[in-house]
Structure 1
Amino acid sequence: MENKVLLVEDDPDFGAMLQQYLEYSDMSVEWIDDPRKMLDRLDSLSLYDIAILDVMLPHMNGFKLAELFLSSYPKLPILFLTAKDQKIDKLTGLKIGADDYMTKPCDPEELTLRLHNILKRTKIQPTLHQIIPLGNYTFDQEKMLLTHPQSGSIQLTERENKLLSYLIQHKDQLIARDDILKEVWQSNDFFAGRSMDVFISRLRKYLQRDENLIIETIRGIGFKVNF
């Protein structure tokens, strides 16, 4: 079955080129040139397997659009494109929950490979509906919900869900950074490493209402999880 890609790109030449190349690679692509066209279609995001968002869009930048997308459909993987190779852009994308990030002009073949890697990773779903007691919290893997009796539920992203599941599987163990990157990110490059640090910080914040749930950083090695 074809993977369905939502492409939001305002450059007509670049957008047409990407759409054509991805369709040659057996993907179904819907190309939107104005982010405002998606504002009344947020309930249709589940139709897509992945979204490619240009950061520098008219009327609304790609980061803001991604936040709207993920608030409506947290499972949607997102790859950002930008003409600017600036650190602040990459960190912003990571904090929002980007699955990958490429600087324009990008190689369409490399982009296609990255999309396939993201799709391969994110389409792996839990086979059982399991609710896990986690200190004062409960963790619903299938619904991707982390719930605390006082503060309520947090809707996790696909990667947050997978990372937390991996940490729980290795509770009370010292876990090497490379092992987490290999399992959850399927990459150990600089971008993946920075992304992992952002996601670890995010999980610590989510779990802060139980002082016994600790993700300890072991410098130069990885993490020690006490769940």
Structure 2
Amino acid sequence: MTGKILMIEDDVDLGIVTQQYLISSGFDTTLATTCRQAEELCSRQLFDLLIVDVQLPDDTGFELVSQLLESYPEQRFVFLTARNNKESKIQGLKLGGDDYITKPFDIEELSWRIHNIINRQQVRRSADLYIGDIRLVQDQMMLVFQNDHQVNLTEREFEVWKYFALNANRVLKREDILLAVWGENDYFLGRSLDVFVSRIRKLLSHSNNVQLETVFKVGFIFRAPNT
């Protein structure tokens, strides 16, 4: 089982031990120790799941998740905390958390809980994604426009389209796109991104309400009506 995990835990020793175990279990796991660091990482790449400690040095995990959901409403998360009381659990579940895990926890059990959450999430992601009058057929990596024009995408093209779609109507920095889709930021990948952007703009001629705008010296805005 694979998946991108962001663990937000200010206990560095616990965080590192858990991170290493999850990596050995096949999860691409990144560790953050503050809310600000987590926000920065989430702005640069997409994560399949956040593991969020409730007590963090610069804010609560509840506040962090509430803020992230404003920009990333599809983000999945679980809370990891020493608070073993009904009120905290209800607060976490009200935010839409997939689970609420109390410390101390069994690390193998945590790994399987993550496995099950991501597996369910990947099933959900097989559903079509609508971007204005465009349908992104995820399990076939295909675009379908309102005029029934269909376009098959390569895997990388699909990832670019999906990133733009999930971050519609936001200023997207070039370096953040490169890190999220390619995993690194360099000059030659930047030229590749330009090629992808040019192709996207050509395909958008089939759309009546979706546009890709350039933000000078910054990046792009993928404008789409709320659906």
* Separation in 2, partners of 1:128, 1:10: 37
User: Structure 2 unaligned runs (5+)?
Assistant: 138-227
The answer on 1:24 being equivalent to 2:24 is: yes
Q: Which residue of 1 aligns with 2:85?
A: 86
1:59 CA drift (Å): 1.1
Q: Which residue of 2 aligns with 1:11?
A: 11
* Separation in 1, partners of 2:88, 2:33: 21
Question: What SS class does the counterpart of residue 10 from structure 2 fall into?
Answer: coil
Deviating 4+ runs (over 3 angstroms): 39-42, 126-130
Identity fraction in percent: 40
1:28 CA drift (Å): 1.1
Q: Which residue of 1 aligns with 2:43?
A: 43
* Separation in 2, partners of 1:26, 1:129: 27
User: Structure 1 unaligned runs (5+)?
Assistant: 131-139, 143-227
Kindly tell me: are residues 93 and 127 of structure 1, through their superposed partners in 2, closer, same or farther at Cα, counting changes over 3 Å?
closer
User: How does the TM-score come out when normalised to structure 1?
Assistant: 0.54
Kindly tell me: are residues 49 and 110 of structure 1, through their superposed partners in 2, closer, same or farther at Cα, counting changes over 3 Å?
same
- 2:22, 2:29 within 8 Å by CA — same for their partners in 1? yes
- 1:45, 1:76 within 8 Å by CA — same for their partners in 2? no
Which residue identity does 1:2 align to in structure 2?
Answer: T
Kindly tell me: are residues 97 and 24 of structure 1, through their superposed partners in 2, closer, same or farther at Cα, counting changes over 3 Å?
same
1:123 CA drift (Å): 1.2
User: How does the TM-score come out when normalised to structure 2?
Assistant: 0.54
1:42 CA drift (Å): 4.0
* Separation in 2, partners of 1:49, 1:41: 13
Matches within 5 A, 1:153-164: none
Question: What SS class does the counterpart of residue 39 from structure 1 fall into?
Answer: helix
Task: Give the RMSD, CA atoms, in angstroms.
Answer: 2.4
* Separation in 2, partners of 1:8, 1:111: 14
* Separation in 2, partners of 1:129, 1:55: 32
Which residue identity does 2:62 align to in structure 1?
Answer: F
